[in-house]
Amino acid sequence: MTNWRHLVALVFLVVLPAAAGCANPGSGHAGGRRAATTTRPVTLAPASTSQPTPPPPTAPATPTTTTVPAPPGIPPGNPWPVIPPIAPGHHAVLVMGDSIAGQMYWSLPDVLASMQIDAAAYDATMPTAGLLDPMFGLAPPDYLAAQLAAHPDVDTVVFEFAGACTAACTSGGVVYGSPDFFARWQTVAHQLTADARARSLHVIWAISPPPPLPDDANDLHFVVATQVADMLIAYDRTYPKTDGVTSADWFSALADTSGLWQPALWYDGALHQVRLTDLVHLTPDGSVRASTWTILALATSWAV
């Protein structure tokens, strides 16, 4: 039976064809290094490589500003962001990315509505999506163009890619985590932002949530997957300066106040599970957190 550490590496949606060729990002951790041991108050589900079942549609809880200190030993979540006023007017948002982006999208229309923001939202996400692989048969830039053609009212694009690599890192010959992998990844990321900006769109690039910490330093699949995710998070943080985009800080939304990965966070006077039992994907509460920080980025971009 596959143990849970290997399961998480699989659910992380990355393929590691040659661990020996993987780069070591070293200090590439972004937003705070995770603790050597992290309390995980969850019961792990039986090992499975299937995709998590999306949570049922539910109205998101309205974020509150009430501060109740977390009990000792319970990880506190970051306070809800203050969303600046948004000028009247209609917007249309295209969300393009992987399964985590898709899970953020689950709650985005409801959270927009709860804040009385006049905005349509379109789902252009795909489980296992990565920048080096086709999305529904199209290279990511071509897929973006097709989605924009299908939704001509879009004025804003939200991108998020945590690090998946399937075909390119197997039959395509790209070594996962190698300098070549990172160079190719950045080339496509820059092309996506350039293509969107060339259409005069507002561009949001999400900083991916922190990955879970490997418990076994000898588990190379899990260790390298985490290192690659950390390095890509570090790159995510550079895009506002290099590409002129706005960041949606999903890292802060899903990390505790020390910048550490946690499966559950204390906020609004209660402990909320924000990750599914695979330790990576988002619960409905986690989705609302990511959506709220996305709306902060939208409001910031639309104000310019």
DSSP string, 206-235: EEPPPPPPPS-TT-HHHHHHHHHHHHHHHH
Check if the beta carbon of residue 155 is closer than 8 Å to that of residue 201: yes
As a whole number of angstroms, the distance between CA 273 and CA 48 comes to 20
As a whole number of angstroms, the distance between CA 28 and CA 230 comes to 6
Between the CA of residue 104 and those of 123, 131, 218, 228, what are the distances in Å?
10, 19, 32, 21
According to the model, what pLDDT value does residue 220 have?
72
> Any idea of the CA torsion for 289, 294, 300, 304, to the nearest 10 degrees?
-170
Which pTM was predicted? 0.81
* Contacts of range 3-8, beta carbons closer than 8 Å, 24 or more positions apart: 3/47, 4/44, 4/47, 5/214, 5/215, 5/216, 5/219, 5/222, 6/219, 6/221, 6/222, 7/47, 7/48, 7/49, 7/278, 8/212, 8/222, 8/278, 8/279, 8/280
- Domains present along the chain, CATH in parentheses: 86-302 (3.40.50.1110)
C-alpha gyration radius of the chain:
18
The string of pLDDT tens digits covering residues 144-200 is: 999 999 999 999 999 999 999 999 999 999 999 999 999 999 999 999 999 999 999
Check if the beta carbon of residue 121 is closer than 8 Å to that of residue 105: yes
Is the backbone of residue 106 left (phi > 0), alpha (psi -120 to 50) or beta?
A: alpha
Dihedrals phi, psi of 203, to nearest 5 degrees: -120, 125
Axis-axis angle for helices 220-236, 4-11 (nearest 10): 30
Site of tokens 């809800």: 80
Q: What is the DSSP letter of 290?
A: H
Check if the beta carbon of residue 289 is closer than 8 Å to that of residue 108: no
- Neighbour-count burial of 27, counting CB atoms closer than 10 A to its CB (0-12 exposed, 13-18 middle, 19+ buried): exposed
Dihedrals phi, psi of 159, to nearest 5 degrees: -110, 145
Predicted confidence pLDDT, tens digits, the chain (304 residues): 334 343 344 444 443 333 333 333 323 333 333 333 333 232 222 223 334 444 444 444 445 555 688 888 899 999 999 999 998 999 999 999 999 999 999 999 999 999 999 999 999 999 999 999 999 999 999 999 999 999 999 999 999 999 999 999 999 999 999 999 999 999 999 999 999 999 999 999 999 999 998 877 777 778 889 999 999 999 999 999 999 999 999 999 999 999 999 999 999 999 999 999 999 999 999 999 999 999 999 999 999 7
Element containing residue 193 per DSSP (H, E): helix 179-198
As a whole number of angstroms, the distance between CA 188 and CA 140 comes to 8
